[in-house]
Chain A
Amino acid sequence: MYFRIPGKRILLYLILIPLLGMFSCENGEDIEPLAPTPYVFEEIQHFPTQLNIPEQNLTTVEGVELGRYLFYDGRLSGRDHPDSLMSCGTCHIQSQGFEVSIDHPKFTNGHPFGLPTPEYPEGKKTPHMTMPLYNLVYNSSGYLWNGFIHESNTRKGIEGYEFMGHNELNYKYLESLVWMGIVAEHEMAGSIEKTVDMIASIDMYRPMFKAAFGTEEINIDRISKAITQFVRTLVANNFKFYKYVRREADLSPSEMRGYELFFSEEADCFHCHSGSLLMTTNDYYNNAKDTTFEDSRDRFAVTNNLMHTGAYRSPSLINCEINGPYMHDGRFKTLEEVIDFYSEGLVYSDYVDPLMKNVRENGVQLSDEEKADLKAFLLTLTDNELLTNPAYGPPMDLGEYLAQ
């Protein structure tokens, strides 16, 4: 009776014929794979409209989801022993604003170190502190504290990162930071081959790679692309000051005084930490911390311009409440220490940025009340949604392999 209804019979054929066709193929590879779904970046008021997404790695929903798993999968290190698990999520912890945090149980004072090696049985410390991983899609000024990773970069090496026979690799894009993290002694201290083999040995990943890239092939290029796609979706704009600008929230009197100080010649934070509401220009400054300079990874190392000696990127202040320690070397543990430094701790050198115009007075000389107001304003930059949004969080089904 059921099949006598012509319309339904046609419907049945429509379902059955493609199914029969699928089974008649020798394997799934003969079928045209479904195209991944483009990921749509929401346009955010007061945020840049230019997105730094290389055309060879357009963001897709499937790529982002695969990237989220890889970001948090401790086997990204190429090893599956509980003591050798490490992934991006080990040091970029969501609840800590995608940084380590000052009170990390393992990384004392928030200073991470790599997996143990024969040369560094306790793990080699990272040369710099971690940087925030959010809003990177809006940054076209280079990545890392010194901006070495930039589309214009043609150099083929930097201390601690070697190509290891992979001439196809480069130091140009956010994607580069994935392979760099895998091989760096102060991070996963592994090899690209081991990581690729390890990920390829995990059953759940093949269909995920197929969904994201069309085939099940797993290689370092795809691993890097997927993780980077996920990282590009990490956006922080849900903080009180942002809402204030949109006239959706009010600031307290103290926060308002701090806001006016922040955006003034008196405290003068805004010239380096403003522009759009990213709370950074993403530019590089010598902010008068030192009189001598020995770090081989400052901005000068990238540009060879003497005036960039001791200069580093101005980091976003979004979530500065929780993502200490502060500065490239983590020398300040608290926001109070940072404010004290800019108030009365500046030291002159020939390389100081001219925006540090109070350097001859050792700082902007804030009163205790002004310092408290400034801190109150800085606390309005905390985005709690970023810290708890499950779309940015670890996939709990990774279980024991979840990076810790």
Chain B
Amino acid sequence: MTLKIKFKHMKRILGILILIVTIFIGCDTAEENIGYGNLVLNFEHKVDNDPASYDLMIYKNSAGNNYEISEVQWIISDLILIGKDNTEWPVGGEDWIHYIDSDLASTLRWEISELIKAGEYTDIRFTFGIKGEKNAPGMFTDPPESNMIWPYHMGGEEGGYHYMKLNGFWLKEESDRTPFNFHMGVGQIYDNENNITGFVQNWFETTLPLPGFIVKNENISELKIVMNIENWFINPHIYDHEVYGGKIMNNQEAMGKISENGSDVFTIEFYDE
């Protein structure tokens, strides 16, 4: 009796062992197939297909304004790689927010420490700026990000920070070099007495194709996100500095148009090995 029970147990134990070994072998094979790689994101600002030149009055926008760029500071968030099977891989985690500053070389190259699942990706999606529920006032206390603060009374609980500060000068009436602050963030709705009655989220998502982009196992892949500055002023709205002047943080009409113009501002570059 005792022996029989033991034999029964042995059969079960053997069965479980075989199952465990099978699972482990299966897992090993799956790991080898998946693998992980690293991703480096580079950021560049261009005008008319060339790298942007700063502090030079050499550009003309679609409204005919001659303009120069002093600096570009902006925020990108929620970056997601989309796989062939439509699976989504959040780069840098769910709360990923990155600040880019044309004057700070260290912000123009972001070596993402979190691993990326190896494989082929067909698209990349990201948010220009920060979605309202993440854009909490006071979340950045250290510069340079903290210097992107958006006034609380102009943005509320979901408008803590600028999406972008594009600063420069334009030739007002084709003669006076005049500053412009092309700043983007949460817009406001004003009543007839100039009181704020609501807010407008001006962030937008951009999806760009990545034909043939592959993250290889234990390799470093690089992508470059390009902001084509002249496109902020063209499509679908011709943006005229003479109309909107140098300051637009409290001008939702201007910011709304800029937000809509953002659809073709970004392009992506990568090099297939």
Q: Which residue of A lies closest to B246 (CB)?
A: A357
> B149 to chain A: which residues have CB within 8 Å?
270, 274-275
Neighbour of A48 across the interface among B146, B154, B248, CB < 8 A: B146
B138 touches A265 (CB 8 A): no
> B246 to chain A: which residues have CB within 8 Å?
357-358
Interface residues of A in 138-189 (CB under 8 A from B): 140-141
Bound Cα distance A71, B168 (Å):
44
B168 touches A275 (CB 8 A): no
Interface residues of B in 142-200 (CB under 8 A from A): 142-143, 146-147, 149, 151-154, 167-169, 172, 176-181
0/1 string, B85-106, CB within 8 A of A gives 1? 0000000000000000000000
Count A-side interface residues using an 8 Å CB cutoff.
Answer: 34
Interface stretch of the complex, out of A19-27, A29-37, A320-328, A348-356 = A348-356
A276 touches B141 (CB 8 A): yes
Q: Which residue of B lies closest to A288 (CB)?
A: B179
0/1 string, A352-388, CB within 8 A of B gives 1? 1111111110000000000000000000000000000
Interface residues of A in 254-303 (CB under 8 A from B): 260, 263-265, 268, 270-271, 274-276, 281-283
> A46 to chain B: which residues have CB within 8 Å?
138, 141
Q: A276-B142, A354-B70, A355-B167 are in contact. Are A270 and B151 (CB under 8 A)?
A: yes
A283 CB to nearest chain B CB (Å):
7
B147 touches A275 (CB 8 A): yes
Bound Cα distance A149, B127 (Å):
38
> B249 to chain A: which residues have CB within 8 Å?
264-265
> A245 to chain B: which residues have CB within 8 Å?
138
Q: Interface range on chain B: under 10, 10 to 19, 20 to 34, or 35 or more? A: 20 to 34
Pick the most buried of B142, B168, B248: most chain A CB atoms within 10 A of its CB: B142
> B169 to chain A: which residues have CB within 8 Å?
354
A350 touches B181 (CB 8 A): no
Neighbour of A265 across the interface among B71, B142, B178, B247, CB < 8 A: B247
B181 touches A49 (CB 8 A): no
A284 CB to nearest chain B CB (Å):
11
Q: Which residues of A contact B (CB under 8 A)?
A: 46-50, 140-141, 245, 260, 263-265, 268, 270-271, 274-276, 281-283, 306-307, 348, 350, 352-360
Closest 6 CB pairs of A and B: A263-B151, A357-B246, A354-B179, A354-B167, A275-B146, A357-B179
Pairs A–B under 8 Å by Cβ, sample size 29? A46-B138, A48-B142, A48-B146, A49-B141, A50-B142, A141-B143, A245-B138, A260-B153, A263-B153, A263-B154, A265-B247, A265-B248, A268-B247, A270-B149, A270-B151, A271-B181, A274-B147, A281-B143, A282-B143, A354-B70, A354-B71, A354-B167, A354-B169, A354-B180, A355-B179, A356-B179, A358-B246, A360-B172, A360-B178
